[in-house]
A and B are shown apart, each in its own frame.
Chain A
Amino acid sequence: MKKYIIGAAIALIFLIYSIALRSQHTRLILPSSSKAGSGNSSTGSNAVTASKPSKVKYKDGHFVGSVANAYYGNVQVAVDISNGKIKNVNFIQAPSDNPNSSYINQQAKPYLAQEAIQAQSSNVQVITGATFSSEAFIQSLTSALNKAK
């Protein structure tokens, strides 16, 4: 049973993760068609195949997941369940939330230059950008969903 829940959670996570990357909102509203944990892989092309459908009924409420370490800091999510379905997932902590970041030095920057960012042609072979392991999401959300059982 636990395996199925984790499988469904993984499918869900990839959906959430891809939405997170696209919408850049800290508050993620899931499509109403996606049934939390019921595993009916209605997550479209972003989904990783869940092992098997499982009937999990979650308790309604707000559940906070464990803190999981991603590459550049911690990830922690909270999940809201309503009528046994996931209504939304909030990030409580994300990697930019770094305790060291309050260190700001007012030292002069004589060699540095500045510009406004501007969209460029996307004709490139490879792209650099911040990502972090989806394992951190999986760990935190799985623990939140476990509390909702």
Chain B
Amino acid sequence: MEKIGIYVHIPFCVSKCKYCNFVSFTNKENFIPEYLKALVKEIELKSKEVKNIIDTIYIGGGTPSCLPNGTISTILNSIKTNFKVDPNAEITIECNPNSVDYTKAQEWINCGVNRVSVGLQSIKQSLLKLIGRVHTKQDYVNAINILHSVGFKNINTDVMIGLPKQKQSDVKNTLLAVAKQNVTHISCYSLILENNTPLYNAVKNKEIKELSEEKAINMYAFAYKFLTKLGFNRYEVSNFAIKGYECKHNINCWNLHQYLGFGVSAHSYFKNIRYSNATTIEDYIALINKNGNAVVEKEKQTINDKIEEYIMLGLRLKNGIDVSYLKEKFDYDILKEKSLTIEKLKKLNLIEIKNNRLYATDLGFYVLNTIILELI
């Protein structure tokens, strides 16, 4: 039986960042006890029908680190009691620099967490303020020190590129500061202005000027080069890691492995069906209490869906998609079906094919969306 992943969503935040369009809420902390109960109930009920071994767990948000002490161990213990979890499973928690303390870090490592992802974005105070982050550079350094001191060896840091007013020197300083903390993984996202976020509206109303495309590209190119020099290998569009420290949970998801999602707006992919849960805390709790599940959308994947998803997700990875896998598993010969497009993309130096794998080049990663559109 295939091993599968688990994702747990924590929809609480102390404050909302100005670029964020994830499902997270501020000032809803009074729901935490009820939410926790619903979450445990969802996990228990699901475990009765799913017997697969769990090889990755990812607790994301929101801000999981802002939960009261003891909450994370309650969640993880519930998973471990109800599911069979691989002893070598990768277990990640997301946190904010200013909500990590010694007690929490100790609790996490004690209950089995072995990977921590810290959202930094930038070390420049004025940029942090611009995007609505409430921590300082010092908070970040303190957080990493605490995490190291309790024994965490696998730490990720999120940084953002292409922010309004950002300069290449800001990127360089941030990456240097992060690398200095001996982290093993860096996620380097370019800013996406999502509809109706405060930052999007500010740009739309011309209160803030978006960074020019040219500058954003050059900045990303710089970051890529700089991270490579620092020993971080780009294994996905936005993800860099020291060899051996790639995020297994996400790699599995890009390879169309199955996963279960628990919590508000969590998505699952199981037995060819994609599910998603209710998107407000209130609805989620009510549905779990009433039906034992909170699924509001359910979509069966056809062969065609799967081919498209495999291409769409697989091309995000450095080593791309496996052409023979497509042929064997889905009877789809992409080299034949898309021969003209592939020739064109190869000529433009946007993709390469080697050892039966089709993958985007460094240049191709910048226009991956268009490449995917041409190939599906």
A binds B: no
